[in-house]
């Protein structure tokens, strides 16, 4: 829990300056990143403290710019693998605290509830698990080690193709997003 609190207090969510590789070194040196950097660092700190941990990747089942999302799991007997989501909790708390819809007392109560939910671990019914862990041996073998698989790992003629990043508005290769009733949120 101390590792999650430290990450929440010391990292800034930044999708542009992110490793996209669950890179603890990037998160620690830059003090920023996106969900995989947060959870890669938390998993590393958890393992250093003796807890079995891993990052997981899945897809959000509701429309958003980037459908893939990373979480961290820790093995906590007798419960088994418990999921934690530091980056989304941090974004939720910032949204609550910046909202004019709540009184200061309501903001405090909602912030406390969000952080308690984080510490309790949680499952959500709007996220579909795709991968667990890091450093994959793919079949057929990839031309180089594959750290994580966010959505798809694709090679052509032995060269890895750039991984799609639907949330990066300046990226111009193929990407995708889940969409039920699509409304653009930027030009």
Residue 105 pLDDT exceeds 90: yes
pLDDT in tens, 107-116: 999 999 999 9
Average pLDDT over residues 30-38: 95
**DSSP codes of every residue in the chain:** -HHHHHHHHH-EE-SSS--SS--HHHHHHHSEE-HHHHHHHHHHHHHHTT--EEEEEEEESS--S--EEEEEEEEETTTEEEEE-HHHHHHHHHHHHH-SSS-HHHHHHHHHHHHHHHHH----TTEEEEEESSSB--SSPPSS-B---SS---EETTEEPPPP-TT-TT--S------SS---S--
Taking the whole predicted model, whether its pTM rises above 0.85 is answered as no
| Domains of the chain and CATH, by start | 2-130 (3.10.620.30)
What is the pLDDT of the chain when averaged over all its residues?
A: 87
Query: Above 60 in pLDDT, residue 16?
Result: yes
Residue 88 CB neighbours (<10 A): 21
- Percent of the chain past pLDDT 90, that is, above it, reads 52
pLDDT-based confidence at 167, cuts 50/70/90? low
């Amino acid at each position: 829990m101390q590792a999650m609190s430290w990450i929440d207090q010391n990292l800034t969510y930044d999708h542009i300056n992110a490793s996209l590789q669950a890179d603890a070194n990037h998160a620690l040196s830059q003090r920023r990143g996106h969900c995989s950097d947060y959870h890669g660092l938390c998993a590393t700190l958890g393992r250093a403290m003796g807890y079995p941990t891993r990052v997981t990747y899945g897809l959000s089942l509701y429309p958003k710019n980037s459908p893939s999302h990373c979480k961290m799991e820790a093995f906590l007997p007798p419960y088994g693998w418990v999921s934690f989501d530091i980056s989304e909790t941090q974004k939720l708390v910032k949204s609550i605290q910046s909202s004019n819809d709540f009184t200061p007392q309501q903001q405090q109560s909602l912030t406390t509830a969000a952080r308690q939910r984080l510490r309790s671990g949680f499952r959500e019914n709007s996220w579909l698990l795709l991968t667990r862990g890091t450093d994959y041996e793919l079949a057929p073998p990839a031309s180089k080690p594959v750290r994580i698989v966010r959505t798809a790992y694709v090679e052509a003629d032995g060269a890895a193709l750039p991984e799609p990043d639907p949330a990066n508005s300046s990226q111009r290769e193929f990407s995708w997003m889940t969409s039920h009733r699509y409304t653009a949120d930027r030009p």
